[in-house]
Chain A
């Protein structure tokens, strides 16, 4: 199948400069991006399969001698393209804060405890249908210095590859009904309300495992449409 990547779809993304998010002020280009036609360089992309991922890399609760503290969760869903087709063999990488809202990163100074049994990084590869699954713990909200009493809603960072170098996506998955949404300039940097809603996972009772873990579903839609769509009559 040959894919096309209309740049119109990029309107779902935040603009580079979003002044409410202070760090964007000195890091967003002043000059407009230069439009160009996609060449073979843009239309191809790295291919990574199971060899990149070790057994168990998708379970963030099993990387140390003991289990991490916090609410155990399953996060699963499909990586899809803009026609709704599953994107197979796509590397999905995640990283997150622990249940107290503290990252293992050396520069995180939030005075909440580190968890010796939690690093907070994982990866997996989507299967032939585009399906992926992680086991983790629910990350905590945490304060940051963007403005007075600024708190990030709980989120998991995701990095996804897809079919080409222009499908590359780094985003954040949020949890439903977070009271911090209206106050978060990163969440609200996405101008369209419907697009913002696509960053929020949904609670999945059907796949919640009794006596074990709550489940959240998060489908990821990457750029890409069939170049020669079937006609519907």
Chain B
């Protein structure tokens, strides 16, 4: 029977690494790396790194994160963004599996502001999808940047209780182009996830 209901999600499971993030450890090549950088991309190059923890505070070694973001001018490398040509060869997508200590990292550029549906600017942000064993569907969150004045007026952050906004805000390390943000799937300081 054909119906047009969507195909349900199932967990990515514990054994996705050789297929999705082999990183030279299996006889399979990576479609994606943890970097969005291309030689001709403009914008500030930054590293975003952190760890992922479960509800017991134990590091999660088998989670995959994917990011999707605009270029430094706030434009997406997708023809559905009609505003302007994208930035050189920048694609805006990357994928990273956590290591045995739950660490992830992305090398990317800081995105520009993107309009909300009313045309109001959103503060620079990166979309994140979190996949893992024990997660029957991936979760969506966002990464904001601690040194952006626009955070205070961001319409999506405004939906989040003030005491939980830090779970979405990567903190810039002094003197370095490095931001840190840990993700907590459950419990104290649980990361904010969005129903999109």
Contact = CB atoms under 8 A, between A and B. Distances in A.
Contacts of A197: 1
Contacts, number: 247
B45 interface: no
A213 interface: no
B12 interface: yes
Interface string A139-182: 00000000000000001010100011110111110000000000
Contact of A119 (B6, B26, B116): B26
B127 A165 contact: yes
A28 B186 contact: yes
Interface in B60-97: 60, 66, 68-70, 76-81, 91-93
A157 B17 CA distance: 12
B127 A186 contact: no
A24 interface: yes
How many B residues touch the partner, as a band?
A: 35 or more
Contact of A63 (B11, B27, B131, B186): B27
Interface stretch (B102-110, B169-177, B188-196): B188-196
A206 B79 CA distance: 38
Interface in B11-25: 11-20, 22, 25
A199 interface: yes
Contacts of B162: none
A62 interface: no
A40 B16 contact: no
A16 B135 contact: yes
B137 interface: yes
Interface string A6-46: 01011011111010010111111111111111111111111
Interface string A73-110: 00000001011100000010111010000011111100
B8 A13 contact: yes
How many A residues touch the partner, as a band?
A: 35 or more
B78 A46 contact: yes
Contacts of A138: none
A59 to B, nearest CB: 13
B17 A105 contact: yes
Contact of A27 (B91, B116, B134): B134
Contact of A41 (B11, B54, B60, B127): B127
A53 B31 CA distance: 8
A84 B11 contact: no
B54 to A, nearest CB: 4
B187 A30 contact: yes
A29 B194 CA distance: 11
Contacts of A14: 8-10, 136-137
Contact of B55 (A12, A27, A95, A108): A27
A195 interface: yes
Q: Of residues B3, B29, B185, B196, which shows the largest number of chain A Cβ atoms within 10 Å of its Cβ?
A: B196
B8 A24 contact: no
Nearest to B70: A41
Contact of B186 (A27, A95, A123): A27
Q: Of residues A64, A95, A189, which shows the largest number of chain B Cβ atoms within 10 Å of its Cβ?
A: A95
A103 B133 CA distance: 15
12 contacts: A12-B8, A16-B136, A21-B134, A27-B186, A36-B159, A47-B77, A95-B16, A105-B14, A171-B8, A198-B6, A221-B6, A223-B6
Interface of B: 1-20, 22, 25-29, 31, 54-56, 58, 60, 66, 68-70, 76-81, 91-93, 114-117, 122, 125, 127, 129, 131-140, 156, 159-160, 185-187, 190-196
Given A27-B135, A166-B140, 13 more contacts: A5-B196, A10-B195, A23-B11, A27-B134, A27-B186, A41-B68, A45-B80, A47-B79, A95-B20, A157-B16, A194-B3, A198-B5, A221-B6
